[in-house]
Structure 1
Amino acid sequence: MRAETGIEGGGAGSGGSTRPVMQRARGTARVSFAQRDGKTCLDGLYQSGSAKIRLPKVYDGLPLAVLLNTSGGITGGDRLNYTGHLAAGTRAILTSQTAERAYRSSGGTGEVLNSLSAEDGAHLEWLPQELILFEASALSRKMDVRLEGSARFTGLEMVVLGRKAMGESVKTLSFRDQWRIWRNGRLTFADNLAIGPDTQMLEGPATAAGGCAFATFIDSGPDAESGLARARRCLEEITPEGGPLRGGVSAWNGQLVARFVSADSRSLRDGLITFLETCRQAPLPRLWSC
């Protein structure tokens, strides 16, 4: 339960309500990278409230920025804002320490805004771990990506409804997820997802066929379409007929997009690890295996 920060209504004898006003999380974190002596280096870091960024030392891979939410999860009324920027010619990965969680809302909707940008020749990878939506949660999430010149964006979002291993079943929630990718000021990709007030829509064969875990992967860059054949070969390997994981991939207009749905989060995560490492031709951050 969140801590009390005040009392609604009048005081004693006034006839007013004594319902507690619940504390809500607020957080803003920004990180930027620039190139110095031919290497990608930290250029700026700001954090406030419950939004934090950690920068572990990486000796055998790309610079890594790890996003944290120290409030322990998201509930109605929380507001989190993460911003990442890459200067020209740089490359870095933004990921999360662990799974994010959206808990039951006692009122209002939690909001998360992710704002990413990359200058010409940069490659920004957005690879957070899964978002778990619990029963009666309410969350609105927005992703805004601004690319310049030949900049490349590789992004993933994975969503899980409850924890199947704990016997949890999510029947009611409100989830809104919006993606926008712009290149040189021109909109090149727009995607909206809305689930709620119940999860019945996910039972249809044209949606999730009863699946409780799903993900979207996008590679946006001048040569993204050239990876289609490799992505489809990998997809065939991780989605055998009759298995718990299904998916599809397509490419157009300088973008490759893959979607996945699974009967359980473990199958989805295992399949995504193989898919990401194959398509990216590089290992995932070690946090993914912790």
Structure 2
Amino acid sequence: MTAIPRAIPSHPESGHRFDAGRRWAASLDLVFSVRDGVTRLSRARHQGPLRVQRPFYPEGRDAAGRPGACHLYLLHPPGGLVSGDALNIAARVETGAQALLTTPAANKLYRTDSHGVAWAQQTRLEVADGAVLEWLPQETIAFDGSRGEQGTHVELTGTARCLGWEVLSLGRPASRLPYVTGRIEQRFRLTRDGRPLWLERQPLDPNHPRFTGRWGQGGATVQATLWAVGLSDEAEAIEALREQLPASPHWAVTVRHGVLLLRYLANERNEAWALCEAAWKVLRPRLIGREACIPRIWRT
């Protein structure tokens, strides 16, 4: 399995530049391991403004005495990305471990500066044989004029299981500030034992016909993607989602190459979040044999 990338080298002088070479780097390197039968955060290295709170164990043990997942909150004190920011998040869940990662608030992608310098965010998640990872960040809000690239790479080994989502809101319609300038590129890569299962590249550019065309974004301001890998009966899980989630033309679910994908495309951020949370509640018992345990930070 590919090694977790080390922290991004520091370049103190780069933050004082005003061209594309400007760079404010931050990184987070996490490893979860089983110790005495319980998942522990065995490594937490950071550089720059990326931190974690202490791990939580709100699920206790089940009827068979098995401990629940380790819940961990990822913190980015600035609360968003500005021109020149470069965030690198890496997490590895080792054999037998179970981890749930989330964030305390929405991530904001701010408007680029007058020099057009972009931001970048890269996330690499590795799940070892027999391990479980739930990647459940709160939504991302892209301000008008935001420019940058997001990459998510999930590497599974053997019988690893994983469920995650990405909820993206473009612009701030409530403030009458739509997303009409800028460019965001998203890349997703999910592999098992080095074999690609899901590869996707999505450019979001208000000046491209795809952004407003019915064959593309269709003018929608909110989109969400939920994925689940490792379900024992994918067809039954899809039927359960269709029966238990609110019927709507705004979402659909399918499965390909062992990856269940649920998509939302419309204009309501709260609706997208509620849909993903409801789908997680349906899928979690089928994926790991436990009911959903809502992170407390979502209700504060």
Q: Determine the structure 1 residue equivalent to 2:293.
A: 283
Conserved? CA contact 1:25–1:50, under 8 Å: no
User: 1:15 — aligned with what?
Assistant: none
Contact between 2:41 and 2:55, CA under 8 Å: does it hold in 1?
no
Matched, 1:127 2:136: yes
SS at match of 2:248: coil
In the TM superposition, 1:184-199 aligns within 5 A as 184-196=193-205, 198=207
- Contact (CA 8 Å) 2:210, 2:218: kept in 1 or not? no
Find 1:64's aligned residue among 53, 64, 71: 71
1:210-289 superposed matches below 5 A: 210-221=219-230, 223=232, 225-226=234-235, 227-234=237-244, 237-240=245-248, 246-281=250-285, 282-289=292-299
Q: Deviations over 1:58-117 (max 9, x none)?
A: 333521121122233112221000011111111111111210001111222111110110
| Gap change, CA 1:265 and 1:152, over 3 Å in 2 | same
| Percent identity between the two aligned chains | 28
| Distance 1:152-1:201 versus aligned 2 partners, 3 A rule | same
Letter in 2 for 1:28: S
Distance between the aligned counterparts of 1:6 and 1:232, measured in 2? 49
Cα 1:197/1:75, change in 2 over 3 Å: farther
Give the match for residue 108 of structure 1. 117
Distance 1:251 1:238 in 2: 19
CA contact (8 A) 2:20 2:118 kept: no
| 3-state SS of 1:29 partner | strand
- Paired amino acid for 1:265: R
CA distance in 2, matches of 1:124, 1:7: 38
Superposition misfits of 4+ residues, deviation over 4 angstroms: 4-8, 19-24
Structure 1 unmatched runs, 5+: 9-18
Contact 2:16 2:22 in 1 (8 A): no
Whole-Å Cα distance in 1 between the matches of residues 119 and 196 of structure 2?
Answer: 26
> What SS does the corresponding residue of 1:238 show, helix, strand or coil?
coil
Are the counterparts in 1 of residues 226 and 276 from structure 2 also a CA contact under 8 Å? no
Give per-residue Cα distances to partners, 1:119-164, cap 9 Å, x unaligned: 1110111110111000110120111111111001111000001222
Structure (1/2) with the larger strand percentage: 1
Structure 1 equivalent of residue 190 of structure 2: 181
Counterpart residue number, 1:148? 157
TM-score, L = length of structure 1: 0.85
Paired residue for 1:16? none
Note closer, same or farther for the CA distance 1:43–1:160 as it changes in structure 2 (3 Å cut): same
Larger radius of gyration: 1
Q: Distance in 1 between matches of 2:20 and 2:248?
A: 51
What is the TM-score normalised by the length of structure 2?
0.82
Mark the CA change 1:7 to 1:214 in structure 2 (over 3 Å): closer, same or farther.
Answer: closer
CA distance in 2, matches of 1:256, 1:265: 22
Q: Aligned-pair distance for 1:208?
A: 3.6
Q: What is the match of residue 175 of structure 2?
A: 166
Deviation at 1:182, TM superposition (A): 1.4
Root mean square deviation, CA, Å: 2.5
CA distance in structure 2 between the partners assigned to 1:250 and 1:204 by the alignment: 23
**Structure 1 residues 213 and 233, CA gap change in structure 2 (3 angstroms):** same
- Kept in 2, the 8 Å contact 1:224–1:254? The answer is no
The question of whether the paired residues in 2 share the 8 Å contact of 1:47 and 1:53 is answered with: no
Q: Which 10-residue stretch deviates more, 22-31 or 146-155?
A: 22-31
